[in-house]
Every structure is written in C-alpha cells, then in structure tokens.
Structure 1
Amino acid sequence: MLLVELGLVPTQVHNGDGEHNYKIILQNKNWIEAQKNCRENHTDLVTIRNEFENQLVHNAGKESNTPFWIGLRYNKSTQLSWFDGGQSNYTNFTTTTIRKDTMFTYLNDDGSWIQSNTPENASALCYESFIHVSKHKMSWEDALNYCNESGLLRIESDEDQIETERELQRQKISGPVWIGLRQSRLFGFWIWVNGLNMGNWSNWKGGRQPEHQKSQYCGAMEKVNDKFKWSDKDCNTTFRVLCERR
C-alpha cells in the first residue's frame, strides 16, 4: 500500500463516545518536526485526557516498534501543556516526579509516558479532528453552502463539546463561530441543520435558549466568562464557520 510506503498507517477507533481517528507516522522525526507534520497533514500531535484515551492511543500506536511522540511538552511559562490546546490533568508518567528540564514526551510500548530532554528522532501519533474551521468569515446562509454535504457542525453531547473546544483552543479562536443551529421563526423551536431537534443536551449562554420573537434566529458558539457557550446571532452577521469534517 502507498500509505505504508510513505510511512503513514491510518488507524480509526470507534467507540460509544464517538470516533477517534489516529494516524501513526512511522518516519523518524524529532518532536518539532513531528508536530509540524501532524499540523500540516492532519490536525495535531495526539492529546490524551484520560485512561480510556490513553488505551486508545496505545492501541493505535502498535504499528510502531518504538516509543512515539505525543503532544505533551513542558513549557517554562505554562509548565506541562498539550500543544493542541486540549485541557487535561491526566498523566501517566513512568515516575511520579515530573522533571522540569525535560521538554518532550513519548508514549512507551506499555502505554506509560516517558520524558526526554532532547528532541530525538522517533515515530509520532497524529489525530484527525472531526471539525473543520473556515479561514474566512461569512453569513449563516453562506456557511450552509460552504459546508455543503458535510454540513454545519452539530454539538450533541459533552464529548462533542470537548472536541469542539479543543479545536477552537488549538486555533486560538474565542468566537463567535457559526454552528448548525437555527430557530423556526414561526414556532420558535431550535433545530439542527439536518432537521433533528436539539434533544436533551444543550449548552446555551445563561442556561436557557433565547426567547421566541426576541431571538436572532441563527446559532453560534462563543467564549463567555472563559467558557464556550451557544448564543443566538443575526444570521447576516459574518463569522468563521464550524463544519463537520468528512
């Protein structure tokens, strides 16, 4: 297969919380080169938020016979940080002491993490986000056409919200950005662009959806008091757009 010849082996892991799409890069690169490769060809070096994801990453990296890079790096100003903007307090280092002179992190063949103070060459694990962010601003109607068959982004669970926030933080976007929500002007209920009702899960600013007749009809997401929340906006206003990536 051409992918194998290029040193790129795709791994998709499906589970009850959604889809994790990882790409193992078998070419030996230092951490900086690995991150650049991931950002240019995929989304970023992988982020790990919990034990479940650590096991998924461990399984996805079994094509590599050596430890491989993940997206955790020590930064003297922010200390330990995931460079895609993901937030997590979970760690799985081989020792309980985190050395502040070690900059880069590998995942070992047993799933544990190893610190390294030199950007040596190794394989890397990238991930693909299910979210595409437009480069340009546009109205909600233009956003609908821009996303085309893949559709404007639907956010229907805590897991969807976490992944959306991760991508916005990675791209340093605080919003507003268009999402796939729109209100019926006649009946006042909010629906997703595929025609489905919102369901039981929502994330409105202030904890409740905008009142009918007072609403601005189109749904966006923006940072409010340091948290990403849904809000109603004038449909003709131009924002960047979140699409489902296919």
Structure 2
Amino acid sequence: WTGLKLLPVMWFLSVILCDSHDYVLIQEYKAWNEAQDFCRKNYVDLATVQTDEEWSELNKLRAKYRSNIWIGLYDDVNSWRWSFRDERLTYARWDEDQPDNYRGDQDCVMLHSNGYWHYKGCNLKCVYK
C-alpha cells in the first residue's frame, strides 16, 4: 500500500422536489455523468444552488461529512448550466482562483470541502447531491 496516491473523496447531491426541495447526499463514488444518471433515475437530478439559503443548506450537509461533493453545474462551452432544467448560471459561489479549467479538461463542478465551488474533470469519482 505504500506509494499509492489517494484521490479526494467525492460524493454527490441529489435534489427531491415536492412543495419545496430537499437534498439527499449519496455516499457513492461516481463520475459526474454517472451521478447525474443515478439522480435522474432515482430522484430528480443533481443539486442546483441558486440562493444563499440553498448554498448554506448544502454546506451544513457537506460539513457533516467533510467531503467534496458533485453538484449539477457544468460548462457547456458557451455558458455555465445546471443539469436540472438546463438553466443558465445566475448565482455562483466560486472559490478563489476558480473556475480555472486546469489542463483544459474540466467541465463539471463540485462543492469543495471548504464550502466553495471548484471546477473539476467530470471523470473524477466523487459523491453527489
């Protein structure tokens, strides 16, 4: 086991819509597209964050697990979009120096363990909401 490089833990968030919305933390490691497929089949979609209140709610959930978490934001080359309803980004909580598109292969967004958004490669296995 020596010399192994561990990747950051990445889970994902799903949203459940009723009269309002609730978030569900899925504690499985999946690439962004896999997490999106899972959420669409079992819930509604990956989580969207469009207000300070939603950001705060997600951060409370994230803080319990101290993890990096996929959310439903992605770069479609022309604009930032939410996977749910294909809406354009109107609210953002980027971390310092983000988005950076490191190595030119980052198109998906995670809620970083520090609570802010990071631009990452979509094939990174993370948990999700």
Name the TM-score, length of structure 1 as normaliser. 0.40
Distance 2:76 2:102 in 1: 9
Q: Which runs of 5+ in 2 are unaligned?
A: 1-18
| Partner-residue secondary structure (3-state), 1:154 | coil
Cα 1:208–1:137, aligned 2, differ >3 Å: closer, same or farther? closer
Q: Which runs of 5+ in 1 are unaligned?
A: 1-13, 20-128
Of 77, 86, 92, 1:195 maps to 86
What is the number of residues matched between the two proteins?
A: 108
Cα 1:156–1:241, aligned 2, differ >3 Å: closer, same or farther? same
Give 1:162's aligned residue: 56
- Post-superposition shift, 1:231? 0.5
Of 37, 52, 62, 1:145 maps to 37
Q: Cα RMSD over matched residues?
A: 2.2
Contact 1:215 1:232 in 2 (8 A): no
Contact 2:82 2:88 in 1 (8 A): yes
Superposed counterparts of 1:1-246, under 5 Å: 19=20, 130-148=22-40, 150-169=44-63, 172-185=64-77, 187=78, 189-193=79-83, 194-199=85-90, 201-206=91-96, 208-210=98-100, 214=104, 216-224=106-114, 228-242=115-129
Contact 1:181 1:191 in 2 (8 A): yes
Distance 2:102 2:124 in 1: 19
| Partner-residue secondary structure (3-state), 1:206 | coil
Distance 2:113 2:102 in 1: 23
Name the TM-score, length of structure 2 as normaliser. 0.73
- Post-superposition shift, 1:213? 7.5
Distance 1:211 1:139 in 2: 17
Instruction: Give the structure with the higher percent strand.
Output: 1
> What is the percent sequence identity of the aligned residues?
19
- Post-superposition shift, 1:207? 6.3
The one-letter amino acid of 1:195's match is D
Distance 1:135 1:231 in 2: 19
The one-letter amino acid of 1:160's match is E
